[in-house]
């Protein structure tokens, strides 16, 4: 057998960050609800407070359960350091506002997650930060904006909900020429399907609420990258206060132990369902990077190990057909979430772009009649039969 330097992601998903049994030989990471950590000596307490030795003081700053979650994601992303947040949006906002100051310029894409677009459209101007949102797959236009100078290039791939894919290595090279930091939201791909740091990104972040946790029962966010940058973001977050709590950290930690199994199934089912939908007469366009007809299929094939569990499609019958179809699905929650074990369906106005006004959605080019379908881990045959029955009944 060939020698391997590091365990595979499958093994890391299970074992990374778990540490040695700590409390009464427990094999599972304890959920440490304690807000603060007590000391018997002022000198020991000072040593930890001054960073002279590791330890915990107060859970807004650091907590052992939260630490285990950060460590597991850190290893899966192959990063030097990781820090966590109460939500994915806290990961996005704390990262951006750590890196950006008044007068700075950030370049990003029109198709970022709705909450992220909202930061660029509503909040950046308030702090006199110029945010330039480029046509998502127009690499020349993005490179041209980056070449004018910027502090941050913020990317997301695949995007939500139209599953556009950008060439991360190419854009990271362009950003590094002007000394910009490259941040990639890897939520839809997961560390199983894509490793942005290997492709040249400086920071990779997740809404852990989605695939990482995988069970739609805990909110969380995480950012991974070089120790210095991650420490700056950690410091901003510990003062800003958007800290992850131990209880959701434990749920996320447990969810990640099956990440590789869930994502493998979801990759496989999403491709079959995308192919099935593309062959249905009621369906207009199908957006899935695994389809050869997808505009960025070639880039996706180069930078992803799998094409992910989310697809979207339009119906020829327009919004009225969407309104009829969604409630007919037996095996899909109509709910604003993705990446869970259960299949989820929704439309941009109630899911990815729920934070945006109709006008903002139009300016971002988000189609309203689109259905986002996040494939769960159910039998793919059952999901296709469910979709077929719902499509058959369309008036």
Ligand X SMILES: *Cc1c(COP(=O)(O)O)cnc(C)c1O
Catalytic residue list: 60, 113, 185, 210
Q: Does 87 bind ligand X (CB under 6 A)?
A: yes
# chain residues binding ligand X, by CB under 6 A: 16
Q: How far is the CB of 253 from ligand X (least distance, A)?
A: 16
Residues near 129 by beta carbon (within 8 Å), at least 6 away in sequence: 100, 101, 102, 103, 104, 105, 106
Using CA atoms, how far apart are residues 376 and 360, in angstroms rounded to an integer?
A: 30
Q: Does 187 bind ligand X (CB under 6 A)?
A: yes
Q: How far is CA 69 from CA 57, 74, 94, 254, in A?
A: 18, 9, 18, 9
Q: How far is the CB of 189 from ligand X (least distance, A)?
A: 10
Evaluate whether 70 touches 83 at the Cβ level (below 8 Å): yes
Q: Does 210 bind ligand X (CB under 6 A)?
A: yes
Q: Does 209 bind ligand X (CB under 6 A)?
A: yes
Q: Does 95 bind ligand X (CB under 6 A)?
A: no
The 3-state DSSP class for residue 156 equals strand
Please identify, using beta-carbon distances, which residue of 87 and 314 lies nearer to ligand X: 87
The single residue among 113, 234, 250, 307 that binds ligand X, judged by CB under 6 A, is 113
**Number of CB atoms found within 10 A of residue 61's CB:** 15
- Find, among 320, 338, 325, the residue nearest to 390 by Cα: 325
Evaluate whether 164 touches 134 at the Cβ level (below 8 Å): no
Please identify, using beta-carbon distances, which residue of 195 and 390 lies nearer to ligand X: 195
Region of 62-70, 204-212, 230-238, 363-371 interacting with ligand X (CB under 6 A) = 204-212
Please identify, using beta-carbon distances, which residue of 199 and 321 lies nearer to ligand X: 199
Cα maximum dimension of the chain: 75
Q: How far is the CB of 292 from ligand X (least distance, A)?
A: 25
Q: How far is the CB of 141 from ligand X (least distance, A)?
A: 22
Binding to ligand X (CB under 6 A): which residues in 221-260?
221
Please identify, using beta-carbon distances, which residue of 65 and 93 lies nearer to ligand X: 93
Region of 7-15, 202-210, 271-279, 362-370 interacting with ligand X (CB under 6 A) = 202-210
Please identify, using beta-carbon distances, which residue of 256 and 283 lies nearer to ligand X: 256
Q: Does 157 bind ligand X (CB under 6 A)?
A: no
**Number of CB atoms found within 10 A of residue 18's CB:** 16
Evaluate whether 329 touches 345 at the Cβ level (below 8 Å): yes
Report the residue closest to ligand X, judged by CB.
88
Q: Does 160 bind ligand X (CB under 6 A)?
A: yes
Using CA atoms, how far apart are residues 341 and 266, in angstroms rounded to an integer?
A: 9
The single residue among 89, 119, 124, 171 that binds ligand X, judged by CB under 6 A, is 89
DSSP one-letter code for 244? P
Q: Does 309 bind ligand X (CB under 6 A)?
A: no
Please identify, using beta-carbon distances, which residue of 202 and 283 lies nearer to ligand X: 202
Q: How far is the CB of 168 from ligand X (least distance, A)?
A: 15
Say how many residues make up the chain: 395
Tokens 């995988």 locate to 214
Q: How far is the CB of 87 from ligand X (least distance, A)?
A: 3
Region of 117-125, 181-189, 321-329, 386-394 interacting with ligand X (CB under 6 A) = 181-189
**Does residue 114 have a cis bond before it (omega within 30 degrees)?**
no
Instruction: Write out the E strands in 163-321.
Output: 181-185, 203-207, 221-225, 283-287, 310-315
Using CA atoms, how far apart are residues 340 and 338, in angstroms rounded to an integer?
A: 6
Q: Does 188 bind ligand X (CB under 6 A)?
A: yes
- Find, among 303, 332, 304, 313, the residue nearest to 372 by Cα: 313
Please identify, using beta-carbon distances, which residue of 219 and 390 lies nearer to ligand X: 219
Using CA atoms, how far apart are residues 243 and 85, in angstroms rounded to an integer?
A: 5
Q: Does 88 bind ligand X (CB under 6 A)?
A: yes
Footprint on this chain of ligand X (rule: CB under 6 A): 87-89, 92, 113, 115, 156, 160, 185, 187-188, 207, 209-210, 219, 221
């Amino acid at each position: 057998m060939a020698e391997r330097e590091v365990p595979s992601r499958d093994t890391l998903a299970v074992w990374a960050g778990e540490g040695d049994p700590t409390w009464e030989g427990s094999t599972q990471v304890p959920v440490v609800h304690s807000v603060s950590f007590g000391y018997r000596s002022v000198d020991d307490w000072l040593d930890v407070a001054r960073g002279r030795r590791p330890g915990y003081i107060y859970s807004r700053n650091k907590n052992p359960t939260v630490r285990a979650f950060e460590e597991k994601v850190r290893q899966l992303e192959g990063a030097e350091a990781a820090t966590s947040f109460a939500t994915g949006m806290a990961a996005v906002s704390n990262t951006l506002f750590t890196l950006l100051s008044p007068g700075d310029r950030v370049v990003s894409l029109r198709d970022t997650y709705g909450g992220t677009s909202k930061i660029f459209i509503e909040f950046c101007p308030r702090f006199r930060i110029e945010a330039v949102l480029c046509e998502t797959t127009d690499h020349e236009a993005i490179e041209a904006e980056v070449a004018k100078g910027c502090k941050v290039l913020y990317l997301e791939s695949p995007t939500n909900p139209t599953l556009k894919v950008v060439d991360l290595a190419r854009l990271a090279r362009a950003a590094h020429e002007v000394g910009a930091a490259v941040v990639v939201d890897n939520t839809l791909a997961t560390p199983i399907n894509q490793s942005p740091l290997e492709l040249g990104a400086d920071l990779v972040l997740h809404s852990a609420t989605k695939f990482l946790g995988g069970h739609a029962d805990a909110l969380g966010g995480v950012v991974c990258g070089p120790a210095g940058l991650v420490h700056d973001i950690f410091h901003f977050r510990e003062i800003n206060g958007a800290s992850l709590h131990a209880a959701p950290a434990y749920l996320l930690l447990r969810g990640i132990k099956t990440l590789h199994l869930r994502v493998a199934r979801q990759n496989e089912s999403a491709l079959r369902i995308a192919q099935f939908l593309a062959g249905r007469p009621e369906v207009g366009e199908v957006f899935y990077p695994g389809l050869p007809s997808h505009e960025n299929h070639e880039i996706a094939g180069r930078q992803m190990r799998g094409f992910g569990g989310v697809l979207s499609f339009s119906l020829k019958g327009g919004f009225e057909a969407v309104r009829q179809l969604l409630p007919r699905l037996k095996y899909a929650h109509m709910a604003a979430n993705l990446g869970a074990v259960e299949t989820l369906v929704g439309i941009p106005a109630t899911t990815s772009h729920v934070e945006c006004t109709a006008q903002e959605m139009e300016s971002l080019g988000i189609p309203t009649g689109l259905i986002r379908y996040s494939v769960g881990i159910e039998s793919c045959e059952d999901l296709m039969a469910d979709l077929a029955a719902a499509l058959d009944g369309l008036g």
